[in-house]
Amino acid sequence: MPAMADFVVVANRLPVDIRRDEKGTLDWERSPGGLVTALAPVMQQEEGAWVGWNGAADMHVDPFTADGMHLVPVALSETEVADYYEGFSNGTLWPLYHDVIVPPEFHRQWWNCYDRVNRTFAKAAADVAAKGATVWVQDYQLQLVPALLRKYRPDLTIGWFNHIPFPPVEIFSQMPWREYILEGLLGADLIGFQRSWDAENFLRSVKRLTGHKVRGRTITVGTGAKYPTRKVKVGIHPISIDTPSFMKMAASDDVAARAREIREELGHPDVLLLGVDRLDYTKGIRHRLKIFGELLRDGLVKSPEVCMIQVASPSRERVQQYKDLRDEVEVTVGRINGDYADLGRSPVHYLHQTFPQEEMAALYRAADVMLVTSLRDGMNLVAKEFVAAQVDLDGVLVLSEFTGAADDLPQALVMNPHDIEGAKRTVMQAIEMSTTEKRRRMRALRRRVKDNPVQKWAEKFLHDLKAAGQ
């Protein structure tokens, strides 16, 4: 473990799940999730430190090295998990930044705790960063860290990247602590977003809600008299996946065999539709089920010839909106299966589970049509994984226009999940697409995903950060 690191990542979560066995011995396992997939390869290449929460309440763990990464755990108490993580991060910011699909809740107690925990993260990063180090802060849970870090350590170059959307100023303005959040972010040298819309929304909020001067994608902060002026750059950096390793894994004989086995287990359907998401209301799972249910009802597709697998991995299970969503999804799946199943053959195979990457790759390869119907999504890495897994070029990607991925993958069948009739037509178009057309589209999609792996995303961000910090 280096005493001081020249490169530090600060994220809500560490890239590993830590457990203690009965004897109290520490054990860890690489954790799933977009952010981890995105940054682990970069961390392994660069000798850096990663500051993050270990995922459990009241667990104090000393810094350690895992998977070639130097990890600095931040301990959160039970109350902090409830108020900072489940509360302000996922009950306030998450819905506010995702088009208020469910109403955000504003509680002063949650905000105070968010502020306190952001200070804890900033202190931990300040303690581990070497003189003049580069610190890359991740995501909406840590929006106050850039300014705090600059206060503690003015020598650092600081970047912040938002993995989720940034809302329009009309929605962001609901936030009672909006100026604090903007000033927190403006402590960075470079602020990165997934899409140009997000960057525009942010710049408009800065213009409207602070006194800072905005010119193009540069913000000038500081008064010049008491505080020196400083430029903050805003950039667009669409995230991606570890394409080389995902493509290699998906092309393996084991994954190919497992894909064949999956189709066999389902009784060799003519068409297999697939949905893969965290069980989150932003993902449009209910819209997707409605679309499939209506196609069955209208007789446009028949079970068991056409069936669907919906993987909905458990997420934020103690947050009320997530509990409600689970109930609604499970009632809907039950209703569709009740109406259209035969003995031993269901139209919807619902899996409220988390699977290893190899199994996911096999599911992607087994599927004919991938349905990504998010109502709002920063990027959606599942769409890119599906493309990377299409070794045989025979899958079709149906993709919501409300994902960041829609900008990067224009050869998908891009649709509006709120337009149920339009979405039904798009799904039918995917089902009926000719082999030539499928291959043409998939070849172009694969080129895009191959040419833009997550390694390139990180390189580009760090390159721009260096330039911004000079």
CB of 280 to ligand F6P, least distance (A): 8
Range in contact with ligand F6P (rule: CB under 6 A) among 33-41, 265-273, 318-326, 420-428: 33-41
Q: Tokens in use for 379?
A: 């990027």
Residue 35 binds ligand F6P, judged by CB under 6 A: yes
* Helix, strand and coil in the chain, % to nearest 5: 45, 25, 30
CB of 356 to ligand F6P, least distance (A): 16
**Cα first-last separation, the chain:** 28
- The span from the CA of 397 to the CA of 411, in Å, is 9
Residue 413 binds ligand F6P, judged by CB under 6 A: no
CB of 378 to ligand F6P, least distance (A): 6
Residue 424 binds ligand F6P, judged by CB under 6 A: no
- Of 164, 191, 250, 274, the residue at the interface with ligand F6P (CB under 6 A) is 164
Residue 34 binds ligand F6P, judged by CB under 6 A: yes
**E-strand spans in 21-60?**
26-30, 49-57
CB of 225 to ligand F6P, least distance (A): 39
CB of 315 to ligand F6P, least distance (A): 6
- The span from the CA of 89 to the CA of 185, in Å, is 15
Give me the 373-392 binding string for ligand F6P, x by CB under 6 A, dash otherwise.
-----x--------------
Chain residue at closest Cβ approach to ligand F6P: 33
CB of 32 to ligand F6P, least distance (A): 8
Give me the 144-163 binding string for ligand F6P, x by CB under 6 A, dash otherwise.
-------------------x
Residue 283 binds ligand F6P, judged by CB under 6 A: no
State the CB neighbour count (10 A cutoff) for residue 178: 17
- Of 6, 19, 30, 33, the residue at the interface with ligand F6P (CB under 6 A) is 33
Give, as one character, the DSSP assignment of residue 89: I
- The span from the CA of 114 to the CA of 344, in Å, is 49
- The span from the CA of 466 to the CA of 470, in Å, is 7
Q: Which of residues 81-140 bind ligand F6P (CB under 6 A)?
A: 139
CB of 91 to ligand F6P, least distance (A): 11
CA-wise closest residue to 6 among 122, 136, 103, 118:
136
268 vs 318, beta carbon nearer ligand F6P: 318
CA-wise closest residue to 8 among 76, 70, 75:
70
Cα–Cα separations (whole angstroms), residue 107 to 79, 221, 354: 14, 29, 32
Cα–Cα separations (whole angstroms), residue 164 to 34, 409, 420, 432: 11, 18, 25, 33
CB of 140 to ligand F6P, least distance (A): 7
> Which residues bind to ligand F6P, rule: CB under 6 A?
12-13, 33-35, 139, 163-164, 315-316, 378
